[in-house]
Structure 1
Amino acid sequence: MSVREHPAAPPPQAPPTATGGRLRTLLTTERARPEAVRRHPWAWRLAVGTVCFGAFMGQLDASIVTLTYQPLRTEFHSTPAGVEWVSLAYLLTLVAFLVPVGRISDVRGRKLMYLYGFAVFTAASAACGLAPGLAALVVFRVVQAVGAAMMQANSVALVTTSAPPGKMRAALGIQAAGQAVGLALGPTVGGALVSTLGWRWVFGVNVPIGLFALVAGHYLLPRTRKCAAGSRIDGLGVLLLGGSTTAGLLALSVASGLGPPAWTALLLATAAVAAGWAFLRRQARCARPLVDLALLRTQRLGPGLLAGLCGYLVLFGPLVLVPVELARRGGAPLTTGLVLTALPLGFALAATTAERLLPAGWSDRLRSRFGVLGCLAALALLAALPPTAALLPLPLGLLGLSLGVFVPANNALVMRAIPTSSAGTGGGMVNLTRGLGTAVGVAAVTLAMHLVPGDAGAATAALTMLAFAAVALLTTLGRGPGE
C-alpha cells in the first residue's frame, strides 16, 4: 500500500484544531499595518484620523439621542423619566467601564480592543434602531455603551502612541476637533432624521460609519508597541469603581429632578462615597491595581484630571442652559440649534489651529492656563448678558475657542505623566473625567435653574460654571515647571 494512502501525520482531528487555532489567533492578536502605510510620512495622521471616527460618533450620539425623547414617548407610551433612561443607562455604563477596559487594553492590545469596540457599538446601534420596545432599547443602549467604552478608553492612548513626540498636542487637538464636529452636527442631523425618516435612523446612521471605520482601523491603526505586565484584572476593584460612579451619577440625576424623592439623592451620594473610599483602599493594597495611586499623586496627573473634569463640565453645561432659556423666551428649535453651534464650532476651530497660532515656545501648562482664562471671561459674559439669541453666540463662541485651546493642552499634560505601557488606563481615566464632567455639568446647571427660577437662573448657572473654571485655573497654577 502506498504512503499516500497511510499518512503518518497529521491525525484526522488536527485540521479542525489548526483551523480553530488560526481563528483564535486572528480574533485575539493585533495585526500589523501594511508596510506601505507604516512607512508613509502621514502614517500618524492616518491613525489619528481613524480615531476621529470614534470621537465623532461618540459625541454625535451624545448630542443626537435627546432629540428622540418625544417620539419615543409617543410610540412607547412612556413617561419623561422612563425615556430619560435611554441616555442615563448609556452614560452610567460608559463611565463604569472606561477605566477597567483601559486596563484590559493595556494588557491585551489597544488596537484590538478599539476595533472590537467599533464592532460592538455598530451592532448595538443597529439593534437600537430595531428595538421593539423601550425596555429593549435601554438594554441595547447598555451594550452600545460597552462598545463606546472600548473605543473611548483607547482613543487618547492610540493618538498619543501614534503621534511623534513633538506632534502629540496637535494630534490631540485633531481628535478634540472630531469630538466637537460630532457635537455640533448632532442637533442638526438628529432633527433632520427624526422629522423625515423617524427616530430609529438616529441609531441607524451609526452603522455605515462604524463599518467604514472598522476597515480603516484594521489597515491604518498601529499595533500596541508596549503592553502592561500581567493578565489578571482586579474584579473587586471594577465592581467598587462601577458602584461608586453609578451611585454618584444617579445621585446627581435625582438632585437635578430625575423623579425619585430627594432623600434618595443623599442615600446614593453616601453609597458613592463609601464605594469610592473602598475602591481607593483596594487599589492601595492590590498587587495589580486598576489605577496606580502613586501616579495620581504626581504634580501633573491628579490636577490634570481634575482640570479636565471642570473643562468638560463647562463645555456641556451650556448645552442644557441655552435650550431651556431660549425656549422660555419663545425661541424656535432651529434658532436654538444655530445658537448652540457657536460653542462646538469655536472648539473645533481652536483645537485645529491653536498649534499654529499660539507661540511655539508656550508649554502645555501655559496653554492650559491661557485657555482657562478665556473660559472665565466667556462665562462672565454669559452671566452678565441677557440670554437672548442675538447675544448668546458671542460668549458661546469665545467659550468654545478657549476650551479648544485648553482641552488638548491639558490632555497632553495628563498623557505625558503616564507610562506608555499604561496608556490605555490613562486614556480611560481621561475619558472618565469627560463622562463625569458631562454628568456633573448637566446636573449642576439643571439644579441651579431649579433653585433660582426666572431670569436670574441663567446667571446663576453661568456663575456655577465659572466657579468650576476657577478650580481648573488653580490646577494650572499649581503644576510644576517644565511641563
Structure 2
Amino acid sequence: MKVRETITANLPLAGIRAKTNYHWYVVATVCIGAFMAALDGSIITVALPTITRQFHVALSATAWVALAYLLTLTALLTVFGRIADIVGRRPLYTMGFGIFIVGSALCGAAQSLPFLIGARVLQAIGAVMLQANSVAIITAAVPSSVRGKAIGIQGSALAVGLSLGPAIGGLLISAFGWRSIFYVNVPVGLIGTTLAALILPIDQEKDQTSKGVSFDYLGSLLLAISIVSVILGLNQGNEKGFGSPYILSLFACGVATGALFIWQEKRHRAPLVDLSLFKIPTLTWGNVSGALSYALMYGVLYIIPFYFEEVRKNPSSLSGLLTTPLPIGMMLLAPMAGRIADRLGSRTPTVAGMTLATLGGLSLLLLSSSEPLLWIIIALLIIGMGMGIFTPPNNSSVMGSSPRNRLGVTSGLLNMSRSLGQSFGIAFAFALYQGVVLAEGYSPLGAPPRMLLPGFHIAFAGVTALGFFAALISLFRGKVQPLADADHEHTIEL
C-alpha cells in the first residue's frame, strides 16, 4: 500500500490533493460513477420491448434484465458498504469501475436472455462497489457546511444519467441495435477508473471494531435470499397465481429469512448492518421515505415506455426522448434543494418534493390513447422536479446523522433502500399492469390499446400511492437538522 501511495504521489494529478478546493475534485470524480450507474439504470427502460421481441420471451422474463441488476445492488450494497469501512473506500471504488466495464461488455455480447441476465449481475457487482461508497466518500471529504450542496451535485449527476439514458438509448437502439446501450459504458468507465485511482483521498478513518472478527457471511446470505424471494414472488405472481403454493412459499421464505437476518445481526460481533443505527429516527425514516420515493419514480420510468410503444405506437427513439422530462426535472432542482437543506434543514423540501411528485403521478391516471403529449411531458416533469427537491435533503439528513466510522454502512443502507425501492417499484408496477391485462384475456404486448389502458392506470395509481406515503413520513418525522462532523454520534430533531 505504501509503495503504491509513493508512486501515485509523484503523478501529475496528485498535486490536486493539496488544493483548498480539493473536495470538489473528489465530488466530480464520484459524479462520474453516479452518472454511469444512473445511465445504465435508465437506458435499459427503452430496450425492454425490443429485447422481449428479439428473444421471444414473456414480459415477466425480460423484466429480469432490469431486476437482476437492481436486486444484486440491493442485496450487496450493505455488504460492500461494510467492506469499505474495513478495507477502505478508494480501492473498492476503483475496482468497481473495472468490474462494471467488463460486465457492460459481456451484456453487449450476450446471445441469449440467461447470459444477458448473468452479465447484468456481474455489471451490478461493479456498480454496487461504486454506489455503496459514493455518498460516504463525499461525506468524509466535504465540509459539513456544504455537504448538502455536494450531495445535491451528486444527485444532479444521477439525474443527468437518468435523463440522458432514455434519449441516448432510444437513438442507439434505432441506429445500432440494443447491444450498443451496454457498449457505451466502456469508454466512460475507463476515464472514471483512471480518475478514481489518482484523485480519491486515502481513507483516514476505518472501522477497527471488526479486527479479528470474521465477516458476516451468513447475514449477507440471509439478506440476499429475503430480498430476492419477495421480488421474485411479485414478479411471477400473475403467471403462477398469487395464491399458489409456489408464490406463497416465496413470500414466506422472504419473511422468514428476513427475521433470521435480524436475529443474526443482533448476535454477530461485527454485523453487516448495525441495527443500533435504526435507533436514529432521522436515519430510519429517511431510508423508508427514500425507498418509497424511488418506487414511485422507477415504477413510472419502466412502465411509461410500454405505454408509448404499445398504446401510442411510438418508435424506440421517440419513446426514449419522451421519457426524459422526469430525470431532467430531477436534475434541474437537485442542486438548489441541497443548498436549501443546508440552510433550513430537510423537512420542508422533503415534504414539498414528495407532494409535488405525488401530484405528477396522479396526473398520469388521466392517460388515454390520444392524450396530448404535452400533458404527459408536464406530468413526468412534475414527478422529476419533486424527486429533485426531495432526494438531496433526505440523503443529507440520513448521512449527517451517522457516526463517522459507520459512514460506509450508512451509505450502503441509503443506497440499499433506494435500490430496494427501485426493485419493488418495477416489480409492483409490472405486476399491477400485467395482472389487469391478463385478467381481461390479453397479452401485455400486442393487445388493442384500449385494453391496455386500464392496466397502465392501475399501475400508476399503485406507485403514486407509495409516493403519498413517503410525503406523510417526511411530514411527521419532524424537522431535521443535519449535524456537524464532530457530532455524528447523535441526532438532533427540532
Give the TM-score normalised by structure 2. 0.85
For residue 319 of structure 1, what is the amino acid of its counterpart? L
Q: Does 1:296 pair with 2:294?
A: no
Q: Does 1:44 pair with 2:27?
A: no
Runs of 4+ with deviation above 6 angstroms = 29-33
Written as runs of structure 1 = structure 2, the 5 A alignment for 1:93-112 is 93-112=72-91
CA separation of 1:398/1:234 partners in 2, compared to 1, >3 Å: closer, same or farther?
Answer: same
- Contact kept, 8 Å, 1:64 with 1:202, in 2: the verdict is yes
Which of 160, 178, 186 aligns to 2:165? It is 186
How many angstroms apart in 1 are the aligned matches of 2:60 and 2:103? 23
Q: Does 1:427 pair with 2:411?
A: yes
| Residue of structure 2 equivalent to 1:464 | 462
Shift of 1:66: 4.4
Q: Does 1:339 pair with 2:322?
A: yes
Q: Does 1:250 pair with 2:232?
A: yes
Choose 162-171 or 73-82, whichever is displaced more: 73-82
- SS in structure 1 of the partner of residue 207 of structure 2: coil
| Residue of structure 2 equivalent to 1:92 | 71
| Residue of structure 1 equivalent to 2:304 | 322
Choose 406-415 or 120-129, whichever is displaced more: 120-129
Choose 433-442 or 406-415, whichever is displaced more: 433-442
Q: Does 1:218 pair with 2:197?
A: yes
- Contact kept, 8 Å, 1:30 with 1:223, in 2: the verdict is no
How many angstroms apart in 1 are the aligned matches of 2:72 and 2:8? 26
> Which entry has the higher C-alpha Rg, 1 or 2?
1
CA separation of 1:134/1:323 partners in 2, compared to 1, >3 Å: closer, same or farther?
Answer: closer
How many angstroms apart in 2 are the aligned matches of 1:107 and 1:83? 37
Aligned length: 457
CA separation of 1:430/1:32 partners in 2, compared to 1, >3 Å: closer, same or farther?
Answer: farther
- Contact kept, 8 Å, 2:235 with 2:430, in 1: the verdict is no
Written as runs of structure 1 = structure 2, the 5 A alignment for 1:56-455 is 56-69=35-48, 72=51, 80-229=59-208, 230-231=210-211, 232-255=214-237, 257=238, 259-262=239-242, 263=244, 264-333=246-315, 334-355=317-338, 358=340, 361-384=343-366, 388-452=372-436, 454=451, 455=453
- Contact kept, 8 Å, 1:31 with 1:218, in 2: the verdict is no
Deviations 1:91-149 (A, max 9, x none): 22222111111100100001110111111111222233334544433332222111111
Shift of 1:442: 1.6
For residue 416 of structure 2, what is the amino acid of its counterpart? L
CA separation of 1:32/1:432 partners in 2, compared to 1, >3 Å: closer, same or farther?
Answer: farther
- SS in structure 2 of the partner of residue 392 of structure 1: helix
- SS in structure 2 of the partner of residue 332 of structure 1: coil
- Contact kept, 8 Å, 1:326 with 1:389, in 2: the verdict is no
| Residue of structure 2 equivalent to 1:14 | none
Cα RMSD between the aligned structures? 2.7
Shift of 1:208: 0.9
For residue 348 of structure 1, what is the amino acid of its counterpart? M
Shift of 1:481: 4.6
For residue 466 of structure 1, what is the amino acid of its counterpart? T
CA separation of 1:70/1:389 partners in 2, compared to 1, >3 Å: closer, same or farther?
Answer: closer
Q: Which runs of 5+ in 1 are unaligned?
A: 1-20
How many angstroms apart in 2 are the aligned matches of 1:96 and 1:30? 34
| Residue of structure 2 equivalent to 1:9 | none
How many angstroms apart in 1 are the aligned matches of 2:168 and 2:407? 33
- Contact kept, 8 Å, 2:150 with 2:338, in 1: the verdict is no
- Contact kept, 8 Å, 2:146 with 2:342, in 1: the verdict is no
- SS in structure 2 of the partner of residue 224 of structure 1: coil
- Contact kept, 8 Å, 2:397 with 2:480, in 1: the verdict is no
How many angstroms apart in 2 are the aligned matches of 1:434 and 1:31? 36
CA separation of 1:48/1:76 partners in 2, compared to 1, >3 Å: closer, same or farther?
Answer: same
Shift of 1:83: 4.2
How many angstroms apart in 1 are the aligned matches of 2:31 and 2:54? 34
How many angstroms apart in 1 are the aligned matches of 2:109 and 2:419? 27
Shift of 1:423: 1.2
Deviations 1:258-278 (A, max 9, x none): x44542322211111100000
Shift of 1:355: 4.2
For residue 326 of structure 2, what is the amino acid of its counterpart? L
| Residue of structure 2 equivalent to 1:18 | none
- Contact kept, 8 Å, 1:336 with 1:389, in 2: the verdict is no
Choose 452-461 or 57-66, whichever is displaced more: 452-461
Give the TM-score normalised by structure 1. 0.87
Aligned-pair identity (%): 34
Deviations 1:164-216 (A, max 9, x none): 10111111111111111111222222222233333332222111111100111
CA separation of 1:136/1:446 partners in 2, compared to 1, >3 Å: closer, same or farther?
Answer: closer
- SS in structure 2 of the partner of residue 287 of structure 1: coil
- Contact kept, 8 Å, 2:364 with 2:460, in 1: the verdict is yes
Shift of 1:86: 3.1
How many angstroms apart in 2 are the aligned matches of 1:326 and 1:135? 27
For residue 319 of structure 2, what is the amino acid of its counterpart? T
CA separation of 1:158/1:32 partners in 2, compared to 1, >3 Å: closer, same or farther?
Answer: farther
- Contact kept, 8 Å, 2:338 with 2:392, in 1: the verdict is no
Choose 228-237 or 187-196, whichever is displaced more: 187-196
How many angstroms apart in 2 are the aligned matches of 1:287 and 1:69? 44
